[in-house]
Structure 1
Amino acid sequence: MDRRSFLRLTGGGVIAAATATTLPGCSSTLPPEAIAAWQGPGNEPDVRRWILAHAILAPHSHNLQSWLVDLGVPDEITLFIDRSRLLPETDPFSRQMMMSQGTFLELLDQAARQKGLRADITLFPEGVFAPTTVDARPTARVRLVADASVQADPLFAHVFTRRTNREAYEARLPPAEALQAIAASTAGAAWRTGFVTTEQADAMAQHRRIAKEAWRIELTTPRTVLESFKVLRVGPKEIAQHRDGISLNDPMVRAITALGLFDRTVAPAPDDQATTGQINEFNAHIDGTPAFYWLVTEGNDRVTQVNAGRAWVRAQLAATAQGLSMQPISQALQEYPEVAVPYREIHEQVGAPAPRFTVQMWARLGFAPTIQPSPRRGLDAHIVKA
Structure 2
Amino acid sequence: MNRRAFLKGAGAAIVISGIPTAVWMNTRTPHKALEPWKQAAIGFGDARIDALAYALLAPNPHNRQPWEVKLVGDDTIDLHCRLDRRLPYTDPYDRQILIGLGCFTELLVVAAASKGYQCNVTPFPDGEPHPRLDGRCVARFTLRKGTPKTDPLFNHVFERRSIKETFDATKKVSQAQLDELVSSEPSAAGTVNPSQTGRINQMAYDAMKIEFLTPRTLRESTDLMRFGKAQIEAQPDGIDIGGAGMELLHKVGLLTRDNFSDAEGAMVKDYLASLEPRYTSTVGYLWQTTPGNTRAEQFQVGREYVRLNLKATQMGLSMHPVSQILQEYPEMDTLYAQMHDAVGVSQPARLQMLARIGYGPKVAETPRWPVETILSQV
Residue 377 (structure 1) aligns with: 369
Which deviates further from its counterpart, 173-182 or 113-122? 173-182
CA distance in 2, matches of 1:260, 1:237: 16
CA distance in 1, matches of 2:280, 2:69: 41
- Asked if 1:88 corresponds to 2:100, the answer is no
SS at match of 1:375: coil
Contact map agreement 2:28 2:244 (CA 8 A) in 1: no
SS at match of 1:127: coil
The one-letter code sitting in structure 1 at the alignment partner of 2:21 is P
- Asked if 1:196 corresponds to 2:187, the answer is no
CA distance in 1, matches of 2:106, 2:43: 22
Structure 1, residues 88-144: CA drift from partner, whole Å, max 9, x if none?
Answer: 0100110000001100000011011112221111111111101x2111111011111
Which deviates further from its counterpart, 104-113 or 200-209? 200-209
Contact map agreement 2:29 2:243 (CA 8 A) in 1: no
Q: CA deviation at 1:266?
A: 6.0
Contact map agreement 1:79 1:140 (CA 8 A) in 2: yes
Contact map agreement 1:7 1:278 (CA 8 A) in 2: no
Higher RCO by CA contacts (8 Å cutoff, separation 6 or greater):
1
Structure 1, residues 17-72: CA drift from partner, whole Å, max 9, x if none?
Answer: 67455671214863111111111242421111111111011101101101001013
| Aligned equivalent of 2:275, options 275, 282, 293 | 282
Contact map agreement 2:194 2:283 (CA 8 A) in 1: no
- RMSD value over aligned CA atoms? 2.2
CA distance in 2, matches of 1:164, 1:109: 21
- Asked if 1:323 corresponds to 2:316, the answer is yes
Residue 75 (structure 1) aligns with: 75
1:289-300 → structure 2 map (5 Å cutoff): 289-300=282-293
SS at match of 1:306: helix
TM-score, length of structure 2 as denominator length: 0.92
Q: CA deviation at 1:146?
A: 2.4
CA distance in 2, matches of 1:286, 1:19: 34
CA distance in 2, matches of 1:351, 1:8: 40
**Which consecutive residues of structure 1, in runs of 5 or more, have no partner in the other structure?**
none
Q: CA deviation at 1:297?
A: 0.8
| Aligned equivalent of 1:351, options 344, 357, 361 | 344
CA change 1:133–1:266 in 2 (3 A) is farther
Structure 1, residues 312-346: CA drift from partner, whole Å, max 9, x if none?
Answer: 00000000001111110011010011111111111
- Asked if 1:57 corresponds to 2:49, the answer is no
Residue 153 (structure 2) aligns with: 155
Contact map agreement 1:6 1:278 (CA 8 A) in 2: no
Structure 1, residues 188-218: CA drift from partner, whole Å, max 9, x if none?
Answer: xxx3x22222xx2321221012111101111
Residue 244 (structure 1) aligns with: 237
The one-letter code sitting in structure 2 at the alignment partner of 1:135 is D
Structure 1, residues 280-328: CA drift from partner, whole Å, max 9, x if none?
Answer: 1211110011111111111111111100001100000000001111110
**Which consecutive residues of structure 2, in runs of 5 or more, have no partner in the other structure?**
none
CA distance in 2, matches of 1:28, 1:256: 16
Which deviates further from its counterpart, 277-286 or 245-254? 245-254
CA distance in 1, matches of 2:363, 2:260: 28
CA change 1:308–1:6 in 2 (3 A) is farther
CA distance in 2, matches of 1:73, 1:313: 29
Q: CA deviation at 1:79?
A: 0.3
Contact map agreement 2:51 2:111 (CA 8 A) in 1: yes
CA change 1:301–1:28 in 2 (3 A) is farther
The one-letter code sitting in structure 2 at the alignment partner of 1:16 is G
1:327-338 → structure 2 map (5 Å cutoff): 327-338=320-331
Q: CA deviation at 1:372?
A: 0.4
Structure 1, residues 196-251: CA drift from partner, whole Å, max 9, x if none?
Answer: 22xx2321221012111101111101111111111111111011111111111243
CA distance in 1, matches of 2:213, 2:62: 18
CA distance in 1, matches of 2:256, 2:312: 38
Q: CA deviation at 1:273?
A: 2.1
CA distance in 1, matches of 2:206, 2:3: 17
SS at match of 2:84: coil
Residue 211 (structure 1) aligns with: 204
TM-score, length of structure 1 as denominator length: 0.90
